[in-house]
Amino acid sequence: MIQEITRWADALSDSEKRRIYEAYVDTWEAKIGAFLQFDTELGLSLPRGNGSLSGIPFAVKDNIAVESFRLTCGSKILESFEVPYTATAVARLMEHGAIPVGKTNLDEFGMGSSTDNSSLKKTSNPYDTKRVAGGSSGGSAAAVAAGIVPFALGSDTGGSVRQPASFCGVYGLKPTYGSVSRYGLVAYASSLEVIGICAQSISVLKTVFEIMRGEDPLDHSSLPYPAYHAEGLQAKRVAVLDEVAGLDEPVKAAYERSIAALKSTGYSLVPVTIPSLEYVLPAYYTIATAEASANLARYTGVAYGRRTDWAENPEELIRKSRTEGLGDEVKLRILLGTYVLRSGFQDQYYIRAQKIRTAMRKDFERVFAASDILLLPVFPTLAFPHGNDGMDQFQQKMADRFTCTANLAGLPALAFPTGLENGLPTGMQFLAPPFCEERLFMAAERMRHIFPEIHPEGYREDWR
C-alpha cells in the first residue's frame, strides 16, 4: 500500500470515522464548492475489489460516468441525469478497492479554464476563495488541494487537468492519447481529450495511472501500454524554449526557478524552438469546436436530459430545450464548430488546422530526438479572480497555448507544483514522447525534493 495514503483507508471504515471525515468535507465544501454530488454511502454501496487502493476515497469529474451517481457535465441540460454504467477507468480503480465518494464541478461540458462556466455551482480556489480553481477540472483539483481526497479524476482536452492542478498546487497528469480508456467519458473533442489525474503526490498519481492504463475493448481508440525499457526511464536532457514571452512576473520567476532546479540536479539543458507553437491556438480551437459541434448534436431533449415544458412540434422542442439547457460558452463553441465544418469552409479552416497538427507532431519529434523531456509553463498567470476582475473568455483561450500543444500532438504531460508566489501556487509542466509517462514521474519526483510541499490554510491531516 502506498505510504502516503494508508491513513485514508480508515476514513470510511466505521460510522464515527466517517462522521469526522464528512464534517471535514463539509467545512471545505462550504468554502470552495468542489462537488456537485458528494455521497459516501452511495460510493460504499457500489461493488469493488481489494487491492492497493482498498478503502481509499476518490472523486470523479462530473463528465465521467459512475453508476448510480448523476452525470451532469455541469450543464442544466443533464442536471438530473443518472448514469446506469461506470467508466472503464473508474471501474479499474474500484476493482483495486478505491471508493468513489463524489462528482466534482467543471466548466460546462469541459469548455473553459475557470470552472466559472458551470451552470450548476461556483467553485473557488482553496488558497483564495476570491479566485478561480482553474478549469475545466477545477472541482477535482480543488478537492485534492483541500485534502478531501488524495486523488481525483479529471479530463484534459486542452489543459483541463494541468491548469487547475497548477492553480491549486497539486500534480496533474494528462496521459498519452490512447493509454487510458475514454469509455464513460462524455465526448467533447474526441481526438484531443483524455482522462487524467489530479493527486497530492507523485507516488499516488503513478499508482492510479498504472491501474487505469491499457487497452479496453469498449474504446477503439485505446492502446496496449508498452513495457518499459529500463534505459529509457531516466531523463537526462531537458529541452527548454529559447524564449518564452508573455508570462506574468510571478510565473516567469517560477519558470526561472525551475530551470535553475534542473541545472542543480544535474540535468543537461537543450535550448529548442518549436515553430508551430505560433499556430497552436487557432488549430486547437478549430479542431475542438468542430468535434464539439458533432458530439453535442445528441442533446435534443428527446431521448434524455432536460426537455422544455411545451413545444408545438419536434423542431421547436429541440430548439427550446437547447436554448434553455445549454450555456453561452457551449453554444458559442457549437456555432463555431458548425461554421468551420460547413461545405466550402472545411479546406479553409478544418483541413488546414489538421495540417498544422501534423507539423506540430513533427516539431516534437525533432525536439525529442535531441532531448528526453520538455519543460514548459502551464499558464501565463497565477489563479485569477472570479468575475469582471479576472480574465474574460477570450483572454482565457489565448492563455492556453502552452497546454494545448500536448493534446494536439497526443503527448503525455505532467504539471507539478513549484511553490508559492504572492500566496498563490505556481506550477510548471514536463512533456515527454508518447508512452513515456515514467520519465515525467521521475523528473517530477526530483523536483519534489527542491520545491517545498504546500497546502492551503485550513488543510488538516489530524482528522484522519
**What are 98-124's pLDDT values in tens digits?**
999 999 999 999 999 999 999 999 999
* pLDDT confidence of residue 231: 53
Spans in the chain with pLDDT lower than 70 = 1, 3, 229-233
Distance, C-alpha 340 to centroid of its chain = 26
Residues marked active site are found at 61, 136, 160
Sequence-distant (6+) residues with CB within 8 A of 373 are: 235, 237, 238, 239, 430, 431, 432, 436, 439, 440, 443
C-alpha to C-alpha distance for 364 and 55, rounded to whole angstroms: 41
Q: What percentage of residues in the chain have a pLDDT greater than 70?
A: 98
Considering the chain, what is the average pLDDT of its residues?
95
Using alpha carbons only, what angle is made at residue 114 by residues 355 and 327, rounded to the nearest 5 degrees? 80
Handedness of CA 193, 198, 203, 207 (dihedral sign): negative
Torsion-angle region of 110 (φ positive above 0: left; ψ -120 to 50: alpha; else: beta): left
Residues 6+ positions from 49 with CB-CB distance below 8 Å: 94, 95, 96, 97
pLDDT tens for 57-81 read 999 999 999 999 999 999 999 999 9
Q: At how many degrees (to 10) do helices 280-295 and 328-340 cross? A: 100
Integer Cα distance of 255 and 418 in angstroms: 9
* Helix runs in 110-221, H state only: 138-145, 162-168, 202-212
Residue with cell 479496453: 216
Residue 344 has a pLDDT of 83
Q: Which three cell numbers stand for residue 81?
A: 441525469
Contacting residues for 74 by C-beta, under 8 A, at least 6 apart: 36, 62, 63, 105, 106, 107, 108, 109, 115, 117, 118, 119, 120, 121
Question: How high is the pLDDT of residue 161?
Answer: 98
C-alpha–C-alpha distance, residues 239 and 257, integer Å: 15
Largest CA distance in the chain: 71
Q: Distance (Å, rounded) from C-alpha 377 to C-alpha 380? A: 7
Domains of the chain: 3-230+440-448 (3.90.1300.10)
Cα–Cα distance between 10 and 431 in angstroms, integer?
Answer: 36
Query: DSSP letters along 20-69, please?
Result: HHHHHHHHHHHHH--EEEE-HHHHHHS----STTTT-EEEEETTB--TTS
DSSP 8-state assignment for residue 174: E
The one-letter amino acid at 155 = S
Number of neighbouring beta carbons within 10 Å of residue 1: 15
Helix (H, G, I), strand (E, B) or coil at 280: helix
Taking the alpha carbons at both ends of the chain, their separation in whole angstroms is 17
What are 407-416's pLDDT values in tens digits? 999 999 999 9
User: Model pTM?
Assistant: 0.96
What are the cell numbers at 253?
A: 520567476
Are 418 and 447 in contact, with CB atoms under 8 Å apart?
yes
Q: Does residue 142 contact residue 29 with C-beta atoms inside 8 Å?
A: no
